[in-house]
Amino acid sequence: MLGKFIVFEGIDGAGKTTQLDLLGRELENRGYPVVYTREPGGTRVGELIREILLNPLYGELAPRAEAFLYAAARAQLVAQVIIPALEAGKIVLCDRFVDSSLAYQGFGRGMDILMLEQINRPAIAGLVPDLVLLLDFCCDDAIDRLSRSGRGADRIEQEQQEFYRRVRLGYLSLAGREPGRYNIIDANRPVDLVLCDILKAVGEVLNEVTERNNRA
Ligand code: TMP
């Protein structure tokens, strides 16, 4: 693929969305074509699925049905947005990807990781992020931040603190499996320091794009 696929991961409240927007603006200022997207969602169909997944009204959602819905939204996003953007040479910044399912449904809910990987295989169609930025954030601070945000908790955020601890450790264990592709960023710091580390991590990936463009 011509473009680059950069994914932000981390527990709710870690600051992914803020950092994704800041990184995107910085890249645009440097002249890179950027596509911003998110999971679940990012497409018309995906946003409808997001509503089912996050609305506390649907508390009866069974864990396996939840896992399939995340995978379905992902399949739509990959086909409709991510692959076409990468083929057009764009930099895709995605707020969450398949690791969210492994961390939340797998480590958080205790579903079998291999089964989740199987469910997701057709959804991601072989697509692997060039870089995963894991914003590692202390669970207690995350819960504080969510309660201070003033909006009501969504269905997933209503989970217990212990759930978020498992998710966080799950992420760290996933990152440990493939240290080359993950960059763990300490997100318990001011926004500008976190961004600085993100820019460093993204630098290598971007150098490849610049060199390729210079050769073209
Ligand atoms: P967010 O867009 O605000 O991060 O919310 C998405 C929520 O959905 C968040 O609590 C994490 C959760 N989630 C999963 O449990 N599994 C997944 O595969 C994805 C993409 C998100």
Q: List 93's β-bridge partners, or say none.
A: 6, 36
Q: Provide the CA 183 distance to its chain's centre, in angstroms.
A: 13
Structure tokens that stand for 120 in this block: 């997701």
Q: What is the pLDDT of residue 16?
A: 96
| CATH number for the domain running over 4-209 | 3.40.50.300
Return the pLDDT at 161: 85
Regions of the chain short of the pLDDT cut 50: none
Residue 171 CB neighbours (<10 A): 27
CB half-sphere exposure, 144, CA atoms < 13 A: 6
pLDDT at 202: 97
* Residues 93-104: tens digit of each pLDDT: 999 999 999 999
Q: How far is the CA of 136 from the centre of ligand 1 (A)?
A: 15
Quick one: pLDDT at residue 103?
Answer: 98
How far apart CA 10 and CA 96 sit, in angstroms, is 8
- What is the CB < 6 Å shell around ligand 1? 12, 38-40, 70, 96, 100-101, 104-105, 156-157
Distance CA 85, CA 170 (A): 30
pLDDT at 213: 67
Neighbours of 186 (CB within 10 A): 12
Residue 104's Cβ-side half-sphere holds a number of Cα atoms within 13 Å equal to 24
Distance 75 CA to ligand 1 centre (A): 15
Q: What is the pLDDT of residue 155?
A: 67
Can you tell me which atom of ligand 1 is nearest the CA of 157? 10
CA distances from 101 to 25, 71, 104, 123, 213 (A): 27, 8, 5, 12, 34
- Is the link from the previous residue into 63 a cis peptide, with omega within 30 of 0? no
Residue 31, number of CB atoms within 10 A of its CB: 8
Question: Cα separation of 46 and 94, whole Å?
Answer: 14
Whole-number Å distance between alpha carbons of 110 and 167: 10
Q: How does pLDDT run across 107-135, given as a tens digit for each residue? A: 999 999 999 999 999 999 999 999 999 99
Q: What is the pLDDT of residue 208?
A: 72
